[in-house]
Amino acid sequence: MSEKSQAAAWAQDGGDAAPALAIKPQARKPYDPDVTFEEYHHYAKLTRAEQLTLEPPVLNVRAVFGGGGKDKATEKDESANFKLTAKDFTPENRAKITDEEWANASRAMRTASSGACFYLITTDVLGPWGSGFAMGTLGWGPGIAFYVSFGLLAGYSGYLIYRMYLGMDSYQFPVKNYGDLGYRTMGPFGRHIANVSQALSLVMLVGQITLQFGLNISQVSKFRLCYAVCPVIFACVGFFLTQIRTLKSYGWIANTAVWLNVFILIMTVGVIASSPPNYAISTLGSAGSAVDPSTIKPVDGVYPPIMHYNSAPTGGLVGSINGMMTGVLAYTGAQLFVEFMAEMRRPMDFLKAMWGAQTFICCVYLVYGCIVYKLQGQYAFNPAYQGVSIYAWQTVGNMVTVVSALICAGLYANIGIKVVYNNVFIDLFNAPPIGTKPGKIIYASIVPIWWAIAWVIAAAIPDFFGFVSVMSASVLVNLTYGFPPLFALCFDVQRHAIREGQGEGFNPQTGETIRRDSAWKHWVRGFLSGGTLQVALNVWHAVFFIGALVMCGLGMYAAIEGLIEAFKLPHFSSFSCQSPLNLNAQP
């Protein structure tokens, strides 16, 4: 179907523009329980019909290497947009805003292109420094199967998020974050569980990056700098970068992180191919330390030869699961897809950016992980560039990845603070929107608190791959693989439960939603409606969700067991000046 015919179908399905209603969308309070799924879906159809008539961004070489620039049509639209002030958003003034002003205020926030989103997605997850470690804990067969299957499932989850977003987002009721999908499909419970999980994951991700690159700085200084100070240096620089509020602005610098990471990929492969592994630190985060410590223990000063496994190492179940949790970190981008689409001029273009980025990421992680595992075997370290034995190249990897990590951490902090702002400050304290002057001031004041929390995490849990396992198992598995099928199941059930032929659905003339049976019958009918294929999809989504919960439980068990073992080592201590990588300083 062409875009013009698809736009006509959206418009016909959504109905004509509604006249003045009893309660206009702009007069609704945030997360108004009286707004039904049918009303969200109705306005989403109208918005999609309009967006499909917009001119697609022009793809050119400058835009690609610049992270996706603005086209002339976008600039023209932005110049004509009506911008609302904080005063306009007060409860007594919201009802005075016209329908066109309200829609234009939403349009003004949608300026990013699909090219920018491609770079944002790859910046978010392109850091495959643990893929060799994961392969080492799983073995050739399970490791390759893991990265391919989990990559496909992550792409499928991204598709589900994309489909739900198009079905519920509109200029009148914009979907701004992951929690909005949960709210519009499951109610307040879905919103709160998604928001809490996302906020925890984002602050933990910033903490994980702060920990990782605090270790970088410590190693570069040859451990002369107090370790507790190293994460502070990283956090202070990240504080200034996080002052960038819009993802459109991040699109212009996000490509820098991608190319810096590609450089380190090539550099580490070249160096480890011509030099031995970093035997000295193998006990701190190598695949052998996770699954079989005897394979990295020297005998008379001689380390065991490099070895590989075709299948999962025998007796290393906990280590293998922790390796899988490290691999899950490769596909964490799904939790940010809503925020990316919320700032896109044409969110229907997001799908090609998502699949392109996911395919690129899966291939890079898989190829790089196999090469590192082949060259270093059980000595494959996490992160890989610290497993380089030549100090000069080790330093190059540490310093270059610090720059790319700052961009990635700034992105996580940007989204995380927006989640907290929209769901705590606006919802509980009636704060103005983040785009207004008071909102910008409040946003800026949250930034140092966010980075202070990240530093506490980094200084308190110095075991890097152990912390990654805890983070992945506790929140990332559910955000990428658990919530999307659950929300999609609820979305499809409600969508197919509407009997339009019997007068059910949202009436734009009266502003009422008509349902002719009880809530229980409504949901059961929706689950069994839509044809055989749709019912099979509903069952699949339920199984998919349950499987993610099982993985979450197994991952938490393995992560806790791994941390218990790690903290038995004398060089692991919280808030210490001694670097976890400095074995020579052991008592």
Q: What digits encode the pLDDT tens for the residues 380-389?
A: 998 898 899 9
Residue 274 has pLDDT above 50, yes or no: yes
pLDDT of residue 72: 47
Computed from CA positions of residues 281, 285, 286, 288, in that sequence, does the dihedral angle turn out positive or negative? positive
Please give the Cα distance from 1 to 6 (Å, whole number).
6
pLDDT at 68 > cutoff 50? no
Q: Give 366's contacts (C-beta < 8 A, 6+ positions apart).
A: 131, 144, 147, 148, 151
Average pLDDT over residues 172-200: 91
| Amino acid present at 388 | V
Straight-line distance from the first to the last Cα atom of the chain, in angstroms, rounded to the nearest whole number: 70
Q: Using one digit for the tens of pLDDT, what is the confidence trace for 507-521? A: 877 778 888 888 888
Residue 401: which pLDDT band, with cuts at 50, 70 and 90?
Answer: confident
CA 281 vs CA 277, 291, 381, 419, 576: distances in Å: 9, 16, 8, 38, 19
How far is the C-alpha of 424 from the C-alpha of 189, rounded, in Å?
15
- Of 98-102, 156-160, 410-414, 564-568, least confident by mean pLDDT is 98-102
DSSP string, 386-415: GGB-SHHHHHHHHHHHHHHHHHHHHHHHHH
pLDDT at residue 268 in the model: 92
Amino acid residing at 189: F
Tell which wins on pLDDT, 465 or 348: 348
Question: Is residue 103 pLDDT above 80, yes or no?
Answer: no
Write out the two tokens for 334: 């799904």
The percent of residues in the chain predicted with pLDDT above 70, rounded, is 80
Closest CA to 563 of 280, 324, 296, 322: 322
Between the alpha carbon of residue 35 and those of residues 26, 29, 291, 378, 492, the distances in Å are 12, 10, 52, 56, 18
Please spell the DSSP secondary structure of 33-97, one letter per residue. Answer: TTS-HHHHHHHHHHHHHHHTTSPPPPP-HHHHHTT----HHHHHHHHH-----GGGGSHHHHTTS
Place of tokens 């606006």: 426
Residue-level pLDDT at 244: 63
Band the pLDDT of 1: cuts 50, 70, 90.
low
Structure tokens at 75: 């600039």
In angstroms, rounded to a whole number, what is the distance separating the alpha carbons of residues 31 and 435? 19
Non-local (6+) Cβ contacts of 513 within 8 A are: 36, 38, 39, 505, 506, 507
Residue 313 has pLDDT above 50, yes or no: yes
Q: What integer pLDDT is reported at residue 106 of this predicted model?
A: 59
- Exposed/middle/buried for residue 170 (C-beta within 10 Å: 0-12, 13-18, 19+): buried
* Crossing angle (nearest 10°) for helices 519-527 and 483-497: 110
Tell me: pLDDT of 2 over 80.
Answer: no
- What per-residue confidence (pLDDT) applies to 533? 95
Mean pLDDT lowest among 1-10, 79-88, 303-312? 79-88
Mean pLDDT of the chain: 80
429-437: Cβ within 8 A, 24+ apart: 432/86, 432/89, 433/84, 433/86, 433/89, 434/245, 435/83, 435/108, 435/109, 436/84, 436/85, 436/86, 436/89, 437/85, 437/86
**Cα 519 to chain center, whole Å?**
33
Q: What is the DSSP string of 233-271?
A: HHHHHHHHHTT---HHHHHHHHHHHHHHHHHHHHHHHHH
Question: What integer is the mean pLDDT of 348-371?
Answer: 89
The better pLDDT of the pair 535, 100 is held by 535
**Sequence-ordered list of residues with C-beta below 8 angstroms from that of 238, at least 6 positions apart, any chain:** 206, 210, 406, 409, 410, 413, 451, 454
Instruction: Note the pLDDT of residue 77.
Output: 46
Q: What is the pLDDT averaged over residues 525-552?
A: 95
* Residues 6 or more apart in contact with residue 454 via CB below 8 angstroms: 203, 206, 207, 209, 210, 231, 235, 238, 409, 413
* Residue 84 pLDDT greater than 60, yes or no: no
pLDDT at res. 60: 45
Of 346 and 6, which is predicted with more confidence? 346
The number of residues making up the chain comes to 587
pLDDT of 71 > 50? The answer is: no
> What is the pLDDT averaged over residues 324-346?
84
447: pLDDT confidence band, cut at 50, 70 and 90?
confident
Question: 216 near 385, Cβ under 8 Å?
Answer: no
Which range, 79-88, 254-263, 303-312, 466-475, has the best average confidence (pLDDT)? 303-312
Count of helix runs (H) and strand runs (E) in the chain: 26, 2
pLDDT in tens, 410-437: 777 877 887 788 777 877 777 887 777 8
Q: What's the pLDDT score for residue 532?
A: 94
Burial of 227-261, coded b for 16+ CB within 10 Å and e otherwise, reads: bbebbbbbbebbbebbebbebbebbbbbbebbebb
In this prediction the pTM is: 0.82
Give the position of tokens 């060089």: 571
Find out whether 579 and 223 touch, Cβ atoms under 8 Å: yes
Secondary structure (H, E, C), 366-391: HHHHHHHHHHHHHHCECCHHHHECCH
Q: Where are the beta strands (DSSP E) in 144-184?
A: none
Cis preceding linkage at 433, omega within 30 = no
Give 5 or 449, the one with higher predicted confidence: 449
Do residues 514 and 507 touch, judged by C-beta distance below 8 A? yes
Cα–Cα dist 265/273, whole Å:
12
Among 176-180, 338-342, 583-587, which stretch is predicted with the lowest mean pLDDT?
583-587
Percent of the chain with pLDDT over 90: 28
How many CB atoms within 10 Å of residue 285? 26
pLDDT score of 140: 95
Q: If you average pLDDT over residues 551-562, what whole number do you get?
A: 90
Given this model, what pLDDT does residue 17 score? 45
29-61: pLDDT as tens digits? 778 888 899 999 999 999 998 888 877 655 444
How many C-beta atoms surround the C-beta of residue 470 within 10 A? 22
- What is the model's pLDDT at position 81? 46
Q: What is the pLDDT of residue 168?
A: 94
CA 116 – CA 248 distance, rounded (Å): 7
pLDDT of 139 over the 80 cut: yes
Q: Is the pLDDT of residue 10 over 60?
A: no
Arithmetic mean of pLDDT, 482-498: 95
